[in-house]
Chain A
Amino acid sequence: QVQLVQSGSELKKPGASVKISCKASGYSFTNYAINWVRQAPGQGLQWMGWINTNTGNPIYAQGSTGRFVFSLDTSVSTAYLQIRSLKADDSAVYYCARGRPDTFDVWGLGTMVTVSS
């Protein structure tokens, strides 16, 4: 079946980096974009941007700090989100979601990132 499988929880120290993966299966990976959405504890959804899986071109949400990097490995149908120079308020659940790039019809289960010294 169509699914997005995300990597497991991460515990990182402030200033470190983290790279989350999102592996697609059950459909043609390059036919859909991958969006990234984050949700801080007890908070709402925040769209981070999307990546064109055909061209690899990333689109980041306005106001992004430049610490987020979207990338792909189409040979294994996987999208990645890297967050550099982690801060405590980056602690959140990060979701990948399939889209065109709108209509987020399939979501990963989420990856919890905890940033703590």
Chain B
Amino acid sequence: QSVLTQPPSVSGALGQRVTISCTGSRSNIGAGYDVWWYQQLPGTAPKLLISFNTNRPSGVPDRFSGSKSGTSASLAITGLQAEDEADYYCQSYDSTLKGDFVFGTGTKVTVL
């Protein structure tokens, strides 16, 4: 059972905007710990999408953006593309786990 909760699935039409929430608590995101986001295309390894809440690594399209507020974080995908259909995971630290990294429960994005 992860301490970071994500919706199991979100969907959107081509070109639309979707957001994925990552809900934590005062022991992780709410404690000020950073959030990372990863994209996992079917049958492949995860790929870093967002680091330190809002930073996009080189090569990640600018239609992906991250934000953080309070005990939650969000990943937004604007101008949804077919190739964005994948699983998305948030990640942070948790102080109750003595600084362990924790992943969110994961969200499947479906492009309609």
Known: A62-B97, A102-B34, A103-B51. A44 touches B89 (CB 8 A): yes
- Of the candidates A35, A47, A103, A107, the one whose C-beta lies within 8 Å of that of B52 is A103
Enumerate chain B residues within 8 angstroms of A101, measured Cβ to Cβ: 101
The answer to whether B45 and A108 touch across the interface, beta carbons within 8 angstroms, is yes
A85 interfacial contact with B, CB 8 Å:
no
| A interface secondary structure, majority | loop
Residue A61 interfacial (CB < 8 Å): yes
A45 contacts the other chain (CB 8 A)? yes
Cβ-defined partner of A95 (8 Å) among B45, B52, B104: B45
Q: Map CB proximity to B onto A25-66 as digits: 1 under 8 Å, 0 otherwise.
A: 000000000010100000011110000000000000110000
* Contacting residue for B100 out of A44, A61, A97, A105, CB 8 A: A61
Q: Is B46 an interface residue (CB 8 A)?
A: yes
- How many A-B pairs have beta carbons closer than 8 Å: the answer is 55
- Residues in chain A within 8 A of chain B (CB atoms): 35, 37, 44-47, 61-62, 95, 97, 101-105, 107-110
Q: List 30 A-B contacts (CB under 8 A).
A: A35-B101, A37-B46, A37-B103, A44-B89, A44-B103, A44-B104, A44-B105, A45-B38, A45-B46, A45-B91, A45-B103, A45-B106, A47-B91, A47-B100, A47-B101, A61-B101, A62-B97, A102-B34, A102-B36, A103-B48, A104-B36, A104-B38, A104-B46, A104-B48, A104-B91, A105-B48, A105-B51, A107-B45, A109-B44, A109-B45
